[in-house]
Structure 1
Amino acid sequence: MPLANNSPSIRGILFDLDGTLADTAPDMAAALNTLRRENALPALPFAEIRDHVSHGSTAMVRIGFGTHLPEDRFEALRARFLEIYAASLALETRLFPGMPELIDAIEARGLVWGIVTNKPGFLSTPLIGALGLQSRIACLVSGDQLPQRKPHPAPLLYAAECCKLDPDNFCYLGDAERDITAGRAAGMQTLIAGWGYIDASQCPNDWGADGSLSRPQDLLDWLDTSLPELSP
């Protein structure tokens, strides 16, 4: 996809969390396999789980136990999955390679940055703390903070309000179609995190994003296409 910045007024960067900012798949997969072992099932290969992590606990239970469970059984498994994951959500989770350097560069340019995720606050807040980012982000909008979640634009609009900037001053990075849908509806520039959890059945080129990045550092090239470097 073309890597061209169509807005000369980007003043902030917003990230999705799972599959964009942080590689949470190892801990999510471990929690799912713990749940399977509790139910006398063998562990699934990591490769079968990874690309579904961005879709949260619902996707995890469906990958681990099928799509035709009775509702009460599904909800019980999902609640137990979240319990397991919450107890071990930062054992192997790390920022993606290149992301620490990207964050440093964003801050050096005088840009604000934050996180908008569908992950609920009881998971996202301690995870951001474990990653040492709580004092650096301008905002963290979690999936249960508002009545609406992505793909609705409300969480992104709220993030812009928290940062005291207009929505069109932001670029939003995500690895799922709902991220791009929400960002576009909010009037933001949108970029696909190509290093994220995108399975073979998806067609990111059809999502309508303004560009696709193959590594975090590519964001700086995108900004430099038309945005002069800002003073710190």
Structure 2
Amino acid sequence: MTNNSGKPAVLFDLDGTLLDTAPDLGFALNSVLRRYDFPEKSADEIRPHASHGSYGLLRLGFGDAFDSFDTQQLRQEFLDIYEAHTCVHTVLFPGVADTLARLHEQGIKLAIVTNKPTLYTTLVLREFKPLADIDVVVCGDTLPVNKPHPDPLLLAAKQLEVAAQDCFYVGDAERDIEAGRRASMETILAAYGYLGDHDQVHDWGADHRIERFSEILQWYKN
């Protein structure tokens, strides 16, 4: 099979795009909240914040009281719990395995660009073979900067040996779309991910929007 209509490379965000990690991130958050006698958050409350990193989730949980704590200590407690529970309930989004296999068959180059630190990225990727087979992975601590800075995306493109303008970047958060645009990549909003009612997605300027992961294949018709 050959690629007749798409770009030669597709780069992906991780949480909220390839993997549904919200349940395990939520477990870590609620575990910390219980330690400090704060009320737990529901899955519906947590999900729109699951792409916002440890500080974003902790701020959701502790609210206005967050800054009165040692925030670095809270973050470390959160990460320690998450490290022990990274793949208890985490799953691939529907269609990810089959779609990635189709892209591989067509010779499309693939990469992951995430703000998740290397330690936790490695823990989750090794549990999911379709993702472990992706050779180029740029994490949140690979460079001194992370998304929405374009440099992590540009590094992935360089490692793939593809020009940035010849890449799609797929993500579910505003920082993903901003990073992709700043890197001169064609951006795809994963609307099935961790979007919240407050997200003004029409203002983000994504080039495309998909409601299911498999819709990526519309650019790779045979």
1:23 aligns with 2:25: no
Displaced runs of 4+ in structure 1, greater than 6 A?
A: none
Structure 2 CA distance for partners of 1:71 and 1:145, relative to 1, 3 Å:
farther
Pick which of 10-19 and 41-50 moved more.
Answer: 41-50
Instruction: Spell out the pairing of 1:150-229 with structure 2 (5 A cutoff).
Output: 150-224=147-221, 229=222
Q: Output one character per residue of 1:58-79: Cα deviation in whole Å (capped at 9) or x when no partner.
A: 1110111114433652221111
**Contact 1:9/1:169 (8 A) holds in 2:** no
Identity rate of aligned residues, in percent?
41
Q: What SS is found at the alignment partner of 2:112? A: strand
Give the alignment's TM-score, normalised by structure 1: 0.89
Q: In structure 1, what is the Cα distance between the partners aligned to 2:68 and 2:15? A: 26
Assess, with a 3 A threshold, how the Cα gap between structure 1 residues 72 and 34 changes in structure 2: closer, same or farther. Answer: closer
- The residue type equivalent to 1:217 in the other structure is S
Q: Distance in 2 between matches of 1:211 and 1:56?
A: 24
Higher helix share: 2
The 8 Å contact of residues 27 and 91 in structure 1, kept in 2 or not, is answered as yes
Give the alignment of 1:7-156 within 5 angstroms. 10-70=7-67, 73-133=70-130, 135-156=132-153
Q: What CA RMSD, in Å, does the superposition of the two structures yield over aligned residues?
A: 1.6
Query: For the residues of structure 1 that align with 2:144 and 2:159, how far apart are their CA atoms?
Result: 17
Change (3 A) 1:57 1:162: same
Q: Against the structure 1 CA distance between its residues 66 and 112, is the aligned structure 2 distance closer, same or farther, given a 3 Å change threshold?
A: same
The residue identity in structure 1 corresponding to 2:54 is S
Unaligned runs of 5+ in 1: 1-6
Separation of aligned partners in 1, 2:51 and 2:59: 13
CA distance in 2, matches of 1:176, 1:59: 13
* 1:100 Cα deviation from its structure 2 partner: 0.9
Q: Distance in 1 between matches of 2:151 and 2:192?
A: 26
User: Where in structure 2 are there 5+ consecutive unaligned residues?
Assistant: none
C-alpha displacement of 1:41: 2.8
Structure 2 SS opposite 1:191: strand
2:154/2:164 contact within 8 Å kept: yes
Q: Which letter does structure 2 place at the counterpart of 1:210?
A: D
